[in-house]
Amino acid sequence: MITRMLNSKPALATLAVSSIILGLLSACSPPSEPTSQIESVENTEQNDALVVYSSRNEHLIRPVFALFTEETGIEVEYATDKAGVLIERIKAEGKNTPADILITVDAGTLGYAAQQGIFQPLNSAAVVERVPAHLRDDSDYWTGLSLRARTIVYSTERVNPEQLSSYQDLGGSQWQGRVCLRTSKKVYNQSLVAMLIAEQGEVKAESIVSSWVANLAIPPTSNDTKLMEAILAGQCDVGIINTYYFGRLQEKQEKQEKQEKQENLSLALFWPNQADNENSGVHVNVAGVGILKHSKNAAQAKRLVEWLVSDSAQALFAGVNKEYPINDSVEINPQVASWGSFKQNPLPLSQAYVLQPAAVKLMDRAGYK
Amino acid sequence: MALPTLLALLGVLSSFLHPDIESLSHLAQYVLPQTIKNTVFLVVGVGAVTTTLGVSLAWLTAVCEFPLRKFFVWALILPMAIPGYVMAFALVGLFEYTGPVQQFLRETFGSSAAFPDIYSYGGVVMALSLALYPYTYLMVRNAFQTQGLRSLEVGQSLGLSVRESFWRICLPMARPWIAGGTLLVMMETLSDFGTVAIFNYDTLTSAIYKTWFGLYSLPAALQVASVLLIFVVVITLLERKSRASQRFSQTRSSKSVAGRIHLSGSHRWLALLVCLLVFSLAFVMPVMRLLYWAVPNMNADLTTQFWAYVAGSTSLSLIAMLMIAGLALLMAFTARTYNSPFAKIVVRISTMGYALPGTVLAVGLFVPVAAIDNALGAMGLSTPLLQGTMVVMLLAYSVRFMAVAFTPLESNLLRITPSIDAASRSLGVSGIKMLAKVHLPMVKGGLLTAMVLVFVDVMKELPITLMTRPFGFNTLAVRIFELSSEGLWERAALPALAIVLVGLIPAFILIRKSDAR
């Protein structure tokens, strides 16, 4: 069809005109769903649907917002992208931003967003009551919504858990050539090292990271799942991962066991840094949320944030990703609960923004790729 | 057309107004030396491998005759529809220590230690080359298709053997196409993030993202991006230089007179084997991997929503293809008519968008557009005119993919001699009419190539689509990103397959049209 068009006489004119027309057409009718917006006008006091910018992925937030709309009648629209891009976008849009809320999956980026002045204070008694202080901003610009733990995973065939104690211990001589780590470019490791800096000081933290690097069995892996596969294949014996990746692997293995009698998963989680020292504990980070300064719908936005920390939302928000709810009182997904309980590191996560760049530089210096 | 690109470039350069000395000195000491070295090695390696693959495969399928040639003519384009990171993931999955190949070796021989490590320089070069060689292949094939056999004839009349004709006539004559293809491949390699991330191979682009998202310093990130721009300028200049002293004109009609070379005995099978090997590695293998993942989830994921992704991707790519190819044609024609230094600079600038990391370009364009939008809002035009519509999206696409559409056209335009213009003017045909009646038929091959390249590239595009799409509008590439960034590769396989399938259609049309002659 296209070639035929090009062969015809006024080919260029047709091409130019049609592309312009198509461009204009698409401009006039962006395929959003105007009908659903009209419904929301009827259902709620205020005119607009809430608009959420989120770096948490669509399939994790869609069911949560669907439940919110079902319970409150408030429609939610969302755009997903990387957090850094969304923050630049909000800054560029300025007062005209269509967005009311930003959700990201790391305390560091939430701190960065707050520092860039795009949030307004939450001023929410519900948030203060429900969310432990170290998991929300001390200036009240954002709050955590779900908790992920980064912990040690080991081969049950080759490691006796009694040999394990702490993150820093993985740099010890008994782990020479037995450690696997994920790339330092992933924010999960950046915030883990940020915690080490807070706990141990920068000099000590750097020597710990260097000792990890010296103990690496293979170059850093590109993700947590690859890391666990490397342990299963015998390339290394211990590593550091987020618990929900372990959860997914467990689930996959169980499916296969039912089908073709695979062996049990020869991996287990270990909770490090559980000693009595009150400044220590398992490294945690949050997915979290803030209300935008230029939200035109701040009251509704606050309603969504408060709903997100409520029991019913929490079970779903954390559950879809096998994470931990932000509040202990919420019932945990049984699979997640089966991994046992642990003491969290009490480092206030609002420090992450300051410490993460330091952590990135430290890892560069230590040669951790 | 150069204007929006210039805006984005200025955005990059304006970062020097607020230099982040602390981050920069850290980067200069610990990050840049290694990443610059890695980038040079990568660009050179991928450039060399894709040129070798692209030229030899184009030669085989355009000029020689061997079993299954007709099949490979279009089959060898197909890997283009596979995004680089999907290619990388499939390759890594197959060849890494825990993958089936090494497992088999261990079970059979007790050890796989002799097997080369896929997480290496060789691995990255292989993944990127397999994903990118079709750019060179398509462009060079267009050259050989239209002039290869004629050149051979000329060679024969001069008493040269086929081999001598290839090296002394055909290859030099195809230089603009080879250089153009290699330029596209190198620019794409510079801007790649997803593929190198899977190999944990640090390039300038990964350093940009690390600085932006890890050190929270966009200014420092943009300053690293300007180092990247230096690379682009150097590569572009080299390409210019490689053909500056030559003029490429075609004297007679492009219709081939002689038949293809019938390869003899062992050569036939060798040609078949080479094509088969490349095709299996670059297409069959990754597609099998995707199928293996997609089939178990097929029923659950083939929802109406999935078809909406397919429709979104296809319509968007079609619109962008028509628009960008049209713009590139206008630009190539204008640049040719007004052969001034200014026109040349404008062209160079407007094709630079292809080498910038997509996310940097997306932000670089979004910021000025939003500023214009806000200014319009302040003037009392209450609804934002630009944002949330597809205008911004298409504008950004044209900045990004202008090089892709322009390069194949430009090579073809080089062939139209000034005397043709003069002749057509003397017959009273000039301006737009001359373009439509005289030039367009002569650049048809290049235009088709441009359209296919843009179509498939827009299908795969992610950062611009993510940032500028209207609410609720999703494409297959966005879907892949959402799932694979969470490590859910099994479920990302279906949309990836869909991209490949939709990308097949224009490739198929292109080849049928160009081979019919």
**A21 in any annotated domain:** no
A206 and A164 housed in the same domain:
yes
Cβ pair A85:B367 closer than 8 A: no
Distance, in Å, from the CA atom of B152 to the CA atom of B162, rounded to the nearest integer, reads 7
A225 and A294 housed in the same domain:
no
Rounded to the nearest angstrom, the minimum Cα separation between A191 and chain B is 10
Chain A positions touching B202 (Cβ under 8 A) are 369
Q: Provide the CATH number for the domain around residue A159.
A: 3.40.190.10
Contacts of B395 (CB under 8 A, 6+ apart): B4, B365, B369
Rounded to the nearest angstrom, the minimum Cα separation between A358 and chain B is 8
Distance, in Å, from the CA atom of A103 to the CA atom of A57, rounded to the nearest integer, reads 10
The conformation of residue B280, written as its DSSP 8-state character, comes to I
**A183 in any annotated domain:** yes
A196 and A207 housed in the same domain:
yes
- Assess contact for B405 and B324: CB atoms under 8 A: yes
Nearest residue on chain B to A36, judged by CA atoms? B472
Nearest residue on chain A to B490, judged by CA atoms? A252
pTM of the model as a whole: 0.87
**A20 in any annotated domain:** no
Number of domains in chain A: 2
A223 and A306 housed in the same domain:
no
Distance, in Å, from the CA atom of B515 to the CA atom of B517, rounded to the nearest integer, reads 5
**A96 in any annotated domain:** yes
List, for chain A, all residue ranges whose pLDDT scores fall below the cut of 70.
Answer: 1-47, 260-263
Q: Which of A7, A78, A235 sits opposite B97 (nearest CB)?
A: A235
Mean pLDDT score across all residues of chain B: 84
Q: What is the DSSP string of B94-121?
A: HHSTTSHHHHHHHHHHS--TTSPPSSSH
**A319 in any annotated domain:** yes
Chain B positions touching A364 (Cβ under 8 A) are 26, 30-31
A349 and A215 housed in the same domain:
yes
A273 and A312 housed in the same domain:
no
Q: For chain B (length 517 residues), average pLDDT per consecutive 10? A: 75 78 90 94 97 94 87 89 88 87 87 86 95 92 78 79 80 86 92 90 92 89 88 83 60 53 83 93 91 83 85 92 91 79 82 83 82 77 63 87 89 78 81 77 84 91 85 86 80 89 81 61
Terminal alpha carbon distance of chain B: 34
Chain A positions touching B214 (Cβ under 8 A) are 185, 187, 190, 356-357, 360
- How many CA atoms lie less than 13 Å away from B109 in the CB half-sphere? 8
Q: For chain B, which residues make up each domain, given as ranges? A: 2-515
pLDDT for B200-257, tens place per residue? 999 999 999 999 899 998 889 988 988 888 888 888 888 777 765 555 555 444 444 4
Chain B positions touching A83 (Cβ under 8 A) are 213
So what's the pLDDT on residue A145? 96
Give the position of tokens 């892996």. Answer: A221
A88 and A234 housed in the same domain:
no
**ipTM > 0.85 for the complex:** yes
Chain B positions touching A2 (Cβ under 8 A) are 448, 451, 509
A53 and A200 housed in the same domain:
no
Q: Which of A11, A23, A232 sits opposite B391 (nearest CB)?
A: A23
A190 and A66 housed in the same domain:
no
Q: How many CB atoms lie within 10 A of CB B230?
A: 11
pLDDT for B174-189, tens place per residue? 888 899 899 999 999 9
Nearest residue on chain B to A12, judged by CA atoms? B436
Q: Does A106 touch chain B (CB under 8 A)?
A: no
A152 and A246 housed in the same domain:
yes
Name the residue type at position A256: Q
Cβ pair B487:A357 closer than 8 A: no
So what's the pLDDT on residue B358? 83
Name the 3-class secondary structure at A182.
strand
Q: Left if phi > 0, otherwise alpha if psi is -120 to 50, otherwise beta: which for B200?
A: left
CATH of B2-515, one of 1.10.3720.10, 1.10.10.2520, 1.10.10.60, 3.10.580.10: 1.10.3720.10
**A72 in any annotated domain:** yes
- Assess contact for A142 and A110: CB atoms under 8 A: yes
Q: How many CB atoms lie within 10 A of CB B428?
A: 8
Cβ pair B509:A2 closer than 8 A: yes
Name the residue type at position B432: I
**A164 in any annotated domain:** yes
Cβ pair B214:A232 closer than 8 A: no
pLDDT for A232-262, tens place per residue? 999 999 999 999 999 999 988 888 777 765 5
Chain B positions touching A222 (Cβ under 8 A) are 197-200
State the residue range of the domain holding A345: 148-283+341-365
A139 and A152 housed in the same domain:
no
A232 and A298 housed in the same domain:
no
Letter string b/e over residues B303-332, b meaning 16 or more CB atoms within 10 A of that residue's CB: eeebebbbebbbebbbbbbbbbbbbbbbbb
Q: Does A78 touch chain B (CB under 8 A)?
A: yes
So what's the pLDDT on residue B245? 52
